[in-house]
């Protein structure tokens, strides 16, 4: 019995030694903001399904920005966002429309499937038409956003200093190939693409065709985190976690071997960037760090990317926290 206790103690001690962050210097650098959809009208996510019209359940507006517009992306960057996430659909006239929804009926005064509608038609739509915070009594953005759905080319041209995480909304491999052709024709835009994700077929096709580009889909994320959970305690980083974007739900993060500093160091050495999401509750991976309370989920000295739906709120709060930490370190 005594030998068993000693053996168990030795195993626990070895696991602690191999995975504690106390013995690792935090990776250098500052925390960075990844603004989901730019600065946009937020809504209560509880009960949202794939076909829920979220424009009909927004909170009372506190600003005039609409998601996926050039103005909202610029505002996100002005607030401190390092990367802006945007959504794309490849239209019949071979343009990438930057718009979230699969169909047009919820947010716009148009109808039909977004990817089946020519960009020339999409450019005529009022993308603020369907937004309401009071059950349809008023529509505060109706008539103010005519023709504001941009193309990806327009985004790159208008915001050459920006970096973007591109979300493929379909499973069409042709979208990945078309993005690769676009970046080949305009190599100056390659630096603007932080990464790609979403539909597996276009994501993987883009990664195959564009050297040194990072990206992920649901399958690659589960492969990385699942294999790391299985044997990451050894210090071995699964191949699925190399040279990629590793998205980590904040409520699962503490259960990852070596979280936060040793985990971050391992991913850095594997050529990957870490993106900290909000709490994962069984939906898709878009929950963000969106409130002052959520900041408790972001580790001290975290140098990765924080995914947020409220860049205008979270960026200043993180800035104040970093300043306070630096002041304390200077006093010590």
The per-residue pLDDT for 48 is 84
- 332 has pLDDT over 90: no
The per-residue pLDDT for 3 is 65
Residue bearing the bigger pLDDT, 41 or 319: 41
Residue with tokens 């975290």: 302
List of residues 6+ apart from 250 with CB closer than 8 A: 276, 277, 278, 279, 280, 289, 294, 297, 298
Question: What proportion of the chain, given as a percentage, has pLDDT over 70?
Answer: 90
Rg (CA), the chain: 21
Helix (H, G, I), strand (E, B) or coil at 303: coil
User: Using an 8 Å Cβ cutoff, are 263 and 257 in contact?
Assistant: yes
The per-residue pLDDT for 10 is 61
Q: Of 248, 244, 215, 245, nearest to 229 (Cα)? A: 248
User: Using an 8 Å Cβ cutoff, are 83 and 165 in contact?
Assistant: yes
- 26 has pLDDT over 80: no
- 98 has pLDDT over 60: yes
The per-residue pLDDT for 24 is 73
Q: What is the mean pLDDT of residues 115-142?
A: 98
- 2 has pLDDT over 80: no
The per-residue pLDDT for 158 is 98
- 12 has pLDDT over 60: no
The per-residue pLDDT for 91 is 98
pLDDT range class, residue 280, cuts 50, 70, 90: confident
Helices and strands counted in the chain (H then E): 9, 9
The per-residue pLDDT for 328 is 61
pLDDT, tens only, 198-232: 999 999 999 999 999 999 999 999 999 999 999 99
- Which residues in 140-272 belong to E strands, given as ranges? 164-168, 193-198, 215-216, 245-249
Residue bearing the bigger pLDDT, 26 or 195: 195
- 8 has pLDDT over 60: no
User: Using an 8 Å Cβ cutoff, are 131 and 65 in contact?
Assistant: no
- 13 has pLDDT over 80: no
C-alpha dihedral (6, 11, 12, 17), degrees to nearest 10 = 120
Q: What is the mean pLDDT of residues 23-52?
A: 88
pLDDT, tens only, 224-259: 999 999 999 999 999 999 999 999 999 999 999 999
- 167 has pLDDT over 90: yes
Average pLDDT, the chain: 92
**Phi-psi region for residue 233, left (φ > 0), alpha (ψ -120 to 50) or beta?**
alpha
Query: Global pTM?
Result: 0.93
pLDDT range class, residue 276, cuts 50, 70, 90: very high
- 329 has pLDDT over 60: no
Q: Of 53, 9, 59, 56, nearest to 309 (Cα)? A: 59
The per-residue pLDDT for 44 is 85
Q: What is the DSSP-derived secondary structure letter of residue 190?
A: G
What token pair was written down for 99?
A: 């718009």
Question: What proportion of the chain, given as a percentage, has pLDDT over 90?
Answer: 81
């Amino acid at each position: 019995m005594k030998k068993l206790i000693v053996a168990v103690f030795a195993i626990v001690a070895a696991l602690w030694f191999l995975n504690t962050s106390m013995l690792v210097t935090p990776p250098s650098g500052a925390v960075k903001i990844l603004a989901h959809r730019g600065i946009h009208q937020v809504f209560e996510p509880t009960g949202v399904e794939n076909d829920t019209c979220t424009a009909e359940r927004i909170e009372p507006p506190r600003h005039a920005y609409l998601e996926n517009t050039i103005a909202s992306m610029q505002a996100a960057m002005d607030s401190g966002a390092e990367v802006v996430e945007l959504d794309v659909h490849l239209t019949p006239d071979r343009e990438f429309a930057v718009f979230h929804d699969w169909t047009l009926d919820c947010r716009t005064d148009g109808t039909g499937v977004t990817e089946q509608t020519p960009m020339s038609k999409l450019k005529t739509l009022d993308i603020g038409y369907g937004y309401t915070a009071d059950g349809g009594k008023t529509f505060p953005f109706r008539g103010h956003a005519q023709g504001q759905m941009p193309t990806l080319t327009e985004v790159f041209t208008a915001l050459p200093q920006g970096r973007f995480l591109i979300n493929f909304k379909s499973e069409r491999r042709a979208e990945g190939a078309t993005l690769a052709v676009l970046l080949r024709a305009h190599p100056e835009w390659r630096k603007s693409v932080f990464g790609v994700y979403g539909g597996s077929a276009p994501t993987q096709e883009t990664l195959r065709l564009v050297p040194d580009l990072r990206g992920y889909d649901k399958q690659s994320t589960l492969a990385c985190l699942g294999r790391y959970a299985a044997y990451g305690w050894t210090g071995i980083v699964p191949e699925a976690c190399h040279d990629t974007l590793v998205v980590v739900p904040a409520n699962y993060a503490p259960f990852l071997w070596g979280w936060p500093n040793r985990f971050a160091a391992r991913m850095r050495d594997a050529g990957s960037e870490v993106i900290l999401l909000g709490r994962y509750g069984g939906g898709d991976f878009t929950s963000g760090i969106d409130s002052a309370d959520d900041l408790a989920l972001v580790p001290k000295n975290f140098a990765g990317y924080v995914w947020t739906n409220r860049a205008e709120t979270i960026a200043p709060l993180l800035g104040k926290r970093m300043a306070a930490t630096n002041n304390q370190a200077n006093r010590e």
